[in-house]
Amino acid sequence: MDDDTKADELVAALKAAQKRLQARKREEFNRRVSFGDLITERSENAALYGFGEGTTCYDNVLILGRVTVGRNCWIGPGCILDGSGGLTIGDHCTLSAGVQIYSHDTVRRTISLGAAPIDHATTVIGDGVYFGPNAVVQKGVTIGDRCVIGALSLVNRSIPAGCRAWGTPARVVE
Protein backbone atom coordinates (compact mmCIF):
# COMPACT_ATOMS: atom_id res chain seq x y z
CA MET A 1 0.00 0.00 0.00
CA ASP A 2 1.47 3.38 -1.01
CA ASP A 3 1.60 6.50 1.15
CA ASP A 4 -1.25 8.22 -0.75
CA THR A 5 -3.56 5.25 -0.16
CA LYS A 6 -2.67 5.18 3.55
CA ALA A 7 -3.33 8.91 3.82
CA ASP A 8 -6.68 8.57 2.05
CA GLU A 9 -7.71 5.76 4.40
CA LEU A 10 -6.69 7.77 7.45
CA VAL A 11 -8.69 10.79 6.25
CA ALA A 12 -11.73 8.56 5.61
CA ALA A 13 -11.45 7.08 9.12
CA LEU A 14 -11.12 10.56 10.68
CA LYS A 15 -14.16 11.82 8.77
CA ALA A 16 -16.21 8.82 9.91
CA ALA A 17 -15.11 9.35 13.52
CA GLN A 18 -15.91 13.07 13.31
CA LYS A 19 -19.39 12.31 11.97
CA ARG A 20 -20.09 9.90 14.86
CA LEU A 21 -18.68 12.28 17.47
CA GLN A 22 -20.63 15.26 16.06
CA ALA A 23 -23.85 13.23 16.20
CA ARG A 24 -23.14 12.31 19.83
CA LYS A 25 -22.36 15.95 20.74
CA ARG A 26 -25.54 17.14 19.07
CA GLU A 27 -27.62 14.50 20.83
CA GLU A 28 -26.12 15.25 24.23
CA PHE A 29 -25.70 19.05 24.09
CA ASN A 30 -27.46 20.19 20.89
CA ARG A 31 -24.30 21.84 19.59
CA ARG A 32 -21.66 21.52 16.90
CA VAL A 33 -18.02 22.15 17.75
CA SER A 34 -14.66 21.99 15.99
CA PHE A 35 -12.85 18.68 15.59
CA GLY A 36 -10.42 19.52 18.39
CA ASP A 37 -13.30 20.02 20.81
CA LEU A 38 -14.73 16.66 19.82
CA ILE A 39 -11.59 14.80 20.86
CA THR A 40 -10.53 16.86 23.90
CA GLU A 41 -12.22 17.71 27.18
CA ARG A 42 -12.42 21.41 28.12
CA SER A 43 -11.47 20.83 31.77
CA GLU A 44 -8.44 18.79 30.66
CA ASN A 45 -7.39 21.57 28.28
CA ALA A 46 -7.45 24.05 31.17
CA ALA A 47 -5.60 21.68 33.51
CA LEU A 48 -2.88 21.16 30.89
CA TYR A 49 -2.06 24.89 31.19
CA GLY A 50 -2.21 24.82 34.99
CA PHE A 51 -5.41 26.86 35.17
CA GLY A 52 -7.42 26.70 38.38
CA GLU A 53 -9.74 23.92 39.47
CA GLY A 54 -13.11 23.97 37.76
CA THR A 55 -11.90 26.12 34.85
CA THR A 56 -12.73 25.01 31.32
CA CYS A 57 -11.14 26.07 28.06
CA TYR A 58 -12.12 25.23 24.49
CA ASP A 59 -9.50 23.53 22.33
CA ASN A 60 -9.35 26.38 19.81
CA VAL A 61 -8.29 29.03 22.36
CA LEU A 62 -4.92 30.60 21.49
CA ILE A 63 -2.71 30.80 24.61
CA LEU A 64 0.63 32.61 24.45
CA GLY A 65 3.26 33.20 27.12
CA ARG A 66 2.64 33.45 30.87
CA VAL A 67 -1.10 33.12 31.42
CA THR A 68 -2.49 32.44 34.89
CA VAL A 69 -6.19 31.69 35.25
CA GLY A 70 -7.99 31.13 38.55
CA ARG A 71 -10.72 28.71 39.59
CA ASN A 72 -14.13 28.15 38.02
CA CYS A 73 -13.60 30.22 34.88
CA TRP A 74 -15.22 29.57 31.52
CA ILE A 75 -13.07 30.39 28.50
CA GLY A 76 -15.20 30.27 25.38
CA PRO A 77 -14.37 29.29 21.82
CA GLY A 78 -12.07 31.41 19.71
CA CYS A 79 -10.53 33.40 22.58
CA ILE A 80 -6.97 34.78 22.54
CA LEU A 81 -5.05 34.93 25.82
CA ASP A 82 -1.75 36.74 25.26
CA GLY A 83 0.54 36.38 28.24
CA SER A 84 3.73 37.45 26.45
CA GLY A 85 3.88 40.40 28.87
CA GLY A 86 2.13 38.54 31.69
CA LEU A 87 -1.62 37.92 32.00
CA THR A 88 -3.51 37.08 35.19
CA ILE A 89 -7.20 36.23 35.24
CA GLY A 90 -8.93 35.78 38.60
CA ASP A 91 -11.56 33.29 39.81
CA HIS A 92 -15.12 32.92 38.50
CA CYS A 93 -14.58 34.80 35.24
CA THR A 94 -16.47 34.27 31.99
CA LEU A 95 -14.77 34.97 28.67
CA SER A 96 -17.46 34.68 26.01
CA ALA A 97 -16.67 33.58 22.47
CA GLY A 98 -13.99 35.56 20.69
CA VAL A 99 -12.68 37.54 23.67
CA GLN A 100 -9.11 38.76 23.14
CA ILE A 101 -6.87 39.83 26.03
CA TYR A 102 -3.42 41.16 25.17
CA SER A 103 -0.24 41.97 27.08
CA HIS A 104 1.82 43.18 24.13
CA ASP A 105 1.53 45.17 20.93
CA THR A 106 3.78 45.78 17.94
CA VAL A 107 2.68 49.32 17.09
CA ARG A 108 6.00 51.10 17.76
CA ARG A 109 7.97 48.25 16.21
CA THR A 110 5.88 48.36 13.06
CA ILE A 111 5.86 52.12 12.49
CA SER A 112 9.60 52.29 13.25
CA LEU A 113 10.20 49.66 10.54
CA GLY A 114 11.55 47.27 13.15
CA ALA A 115 13.84 49.69 14.98
CA ALA A 116 11.74 49.88 18.16
CA PRO A 117 11.08 46.84 20.37
CA ILE A 118 7.77 45.07 20.90
CA ASP A 119 5.98 46.72 23.83
CA HIS A 120 4.85 44.51 26.75
CA ALA A 121 2.82 45.33 29.86
CA THR A 122 1.14 43.04 32.38
CA THR A 123 -2.64 42.75 32.06
CA VAL A 124 -4.71 41.82 35.13
CA ILE A 125 -8.33 40.68 35.29
CA GLY A 126 -9.95 40.51 38.76
CA ASP A 127 -12.38 37.96 40.19
CA GLY A 128 -15.92 37.62 38.88
CA VAL A 129 -15.43 39.51 35.63
CA TYR A 130 -17.81 38.86 32.72
CA PHE A 131 -16.73 39.59 29.14
CA GLY A 132 -19.34 39.73 26.40
CA PRO A 133 -18.55 38.21 23.01
CA ASN A 134 -15.66 39.66 21.02
CA ALA A 135 -14.51 42.12 23.69
CA VAL A 136 -10.84 43.16 23.32
CA VAL A 137 -8.55 44.18 26.18
CA GLN A 138 -5.31 45.99 25.36
CA LYS A 139 -1.97 45.48 27.09
CA GLY A 140 -1.36 46.94 30.54
CA VAL A 141 -5.05 47.21 31.48
CA THR A 142 -6.34 46.18 34.91
CA ILE A 143 -10.01 45.28 35.29
CA GLY A 144 -11.21 45.16 38.89
CA ASP A 145 -13.36 42.51 40.57
CA ARG A 146 -17.00 41.98 39.58
CA CYS A 147 -16.97 44.00 36.38
CA VAL A 148 -19.07 43.51 33.28
CA ILE A 149 -17.45 44.29 29.93
CA GLY A 150 -19.95 44.54 27.09
CA ALA A 151 -19.85 42.70 23.81
CA LEU A 152 -17.62 44.18 21.09
CA SER A 153 -15.97 46.56 23.58
CA LEU A 154 -12.39 47.80 23.24
CA VAL A 155 -10.92 48.17 26.74
CA ASN A 156 -7.90 50.45 26.41
CA ARG A 157 -7.80 51.79 29.98
CA SER A 158 -8.23 50.25 33.41
CA ILE A 159 -11.74 49.71 34.81
CA PRO A 160 -12.39 49.99 38.58
CA ALA A 161 -14.00 47.16 40.55
CA GLY A 162 -17.77 46.77 40.37
CA CYS A 163 -18.22 48.72 37.15
CA ARG A 164 -20.00 48.02 33.90
CA ALA A 165 -18.24 49.24 30.80
CA TRP A 166 -18.86 48.96 27.10
CA GLY A 167 -18.22 50.66 23.80
CA THR A 168 -15.25 51.47 21.61
CA PRO A 169 -13.38 52.64 23.52
CA ALA A 170 -15.07 51.15 26.58
CA ARG A 171 -16.54 53.67 28.99
CA VAL A 172 -17.80 53.05 32.50
CA VAL A 173 -21.60 53.37 32.39
CA GLU A 174 -22.57 52.32 35.94
DSSP secondary structure of 42-99: HHHHHHHTTPPTT-EE-TT-EEEEEEEE-SS-EE-TT-EEEEEEEEEE-SS-EE-TT-
CATH fold for the domain made of 41-172: UDP N-Acetylglucosamine Acyltransferase; domain 1 (2.160.10)
Identify the pLDDT of residue 174: 73
Q: Choose among 75, 68, 141, 133: nearest CA to 104.
A: 141
Mean pLDDT by 10 residues, the chain (174 residues): 86 89 87 84 94 96 97 98 98 98 97 97 98 98 98 98 97 90
- Characterise 72 by phi-psi region: left (phi > 0), alpha (psi -120 to 50), beta (else): left
State the pTM of this model.
0.90
Is residue 87 within 8 A of residue 66, CB to CB? The reply is yes
Q: Where are the domains of the chain?
A: 1-32, 41-172
Count of CB atoms within 10 A of residue 49's CB?
Answer: 16
Identify the pLDDT of residue 29: 86
